[in-house]
Amino acid sequence: MAARMPVVFVSHGAPDALLKAPDAVACWREIGRQAPAPAAVLAVSAHWQARNATLSLAGAPETIHDFSGFDPALYRMRYPAPGAPALAERAASLIRAAGMAVELHPQRGLDHGAWVPLSAMFPQANVPVTQLSLTRHGGPAAHLALGRALAPLREEGVLILASGAITHNFDWLDWRGAAAPLPQARAFSDWVGERLAEGNDAALLEYRSGPEGAAAHPTDEHFLPLFVALGAAAGEAPARHQPGFAYGGLSMDAYVWQPH
């Protein structure tokens, strides 16, 4: 029987995190080292939104460079992991059984929200991976329910990787890279950490009412993967990793819900 797998949430930062966020990369690498060897990875990224929850059937997912204006070295990077179409079908069946609409995409590749942290977590690119979209018009509660539907995958050797951001406001960023952490970003990051530690899902669902919540996320999509992770974690308490801030305003916090 496969070991029950952890659930992981990472703040993937800017697309150039692999080049300019060494502490976050080291954190992701250590999370990958500590995890039991997964049979496959189900990656949920803020950078894929669809009408309904959608899973990729790609057998060899393309590395999608869905950004512009960064170091040319980023565009040469590839993450040639095999796809996991059987996992996509299995996840779709769980979502459908929970009463939610689900679709399958024949060839969608891995966007930077997926391949950037995976490049550090599993650098040999030998773990099959499929990607799951967010739902375009679904809020926090809908994504919490989505994560709960996916929880049985953990008993099947699947590592669920949710990739988004604890803070995501471009107006908070200093692209020169030398800024100290913005107080507003730190305040919201710590508030999230405290609510997760106490298991206060209700407060997190209303995060926009928390300190700096609406400013931390002018739009929801980068925070929604956290709710998928939270649902799949099924009440476990997470370990918080704090590799610092990128560009002053991007909290790079990661969370791991490790079965006991």
225 domain-assigned: yes
Asked if the model's pLDDT at residue 179 lies above 80, the reply is no
Tell me the CATH number at 223.
3.40.830.10
Residue of 141, 39, 33 whose CA lies nearest to 82: 39
In a domain, 252, yes or no: yes
Residue 60 buriedness (CB in 10 A; 0-12 / 13-18 / 19+): exposed
192-219 pLDDT per residue, tens: 999 999 999 999 999 999 999 999 999 9
Return d(Cα 13, Cα 185) in angstroms, integer: 13
Instruction: Tokens 């459908």: give the residue.
Output: 96
Cα–Cα dist 178/158, whole Å: 38
In-domain check, residue 174: yes
Helix axes 224-233, 140-150, angle to 10 degrees: 40
- Are the beta carbons of 158 and 42 closer than 8 angstroms? yes
The reply to whether 1 falls in a domain is: no
Q: What is the pLDDT of residue 260?
A: 72
pLDDT tens profile 104-133? 999 999 999 999 999 999 999 999 999 999
76 class by beta-carbon count within 10 Å (0-12 exposed, 13-18 middle, 19+ buried): exposed
pLDDT of residue 178: 64
**What pLDDT does residue 235 have?**
85
Q: In the chain, how many domains are there?
A: 1
pLDDT score for 175: 85
Q: Please indicate, yes or no, if residue 226 is contained in any of the structural domains.
A: yes
What does the pLDDT read at residue 64? Answer: 97
Between residues 228 and 68, the one the model is more confident about: 228
In a domain, 26, yes or no: yes
Q: Which domain holds residue 253?
A: 7-257
Residue 177 has pLDDT above 90, yes or no: no
Reply yes or no on whether the pLDDT at 160 is more than 70.
yes
| Residue pLDDT, tens place only, 143-155 | 999 999 999 999 9
Question: Sign (positive/negative) of CA torsion 143, 8, 115, 17?
Answer: positive
Domain contains 2: no
pLDDT attached to residue 36: 95
Q: Over pLDDT 70: what percentage of the chain?
A: 98
What's the average model confidence in pLDDT over 92-111?
98
Q: State the sign of the Cα–Cα–Cα–Cα dihedral 85, 127, 11, 120.
A: negative
Tens digit of each residue's pLDDT (9 = 90 or more) over 15-50: 999 999 999 999 999 999 999 999 999 999 999 999
CA 100 to CA 125: how far, in whole Å?
31
Question: 247 pLDDT band (50/70/90 cuts)?
Answer: very high
Cα radius of gyration (the chain): 17
The mean pLDDT value for 3-25 works out to 95
Query: What is the chain's mean pLDDT, rounded?
Result: 96
pLDDT of residue 189: 98
Of 125-129, 164-168, 234-238, the poorest mean pLDDT is in 234-238
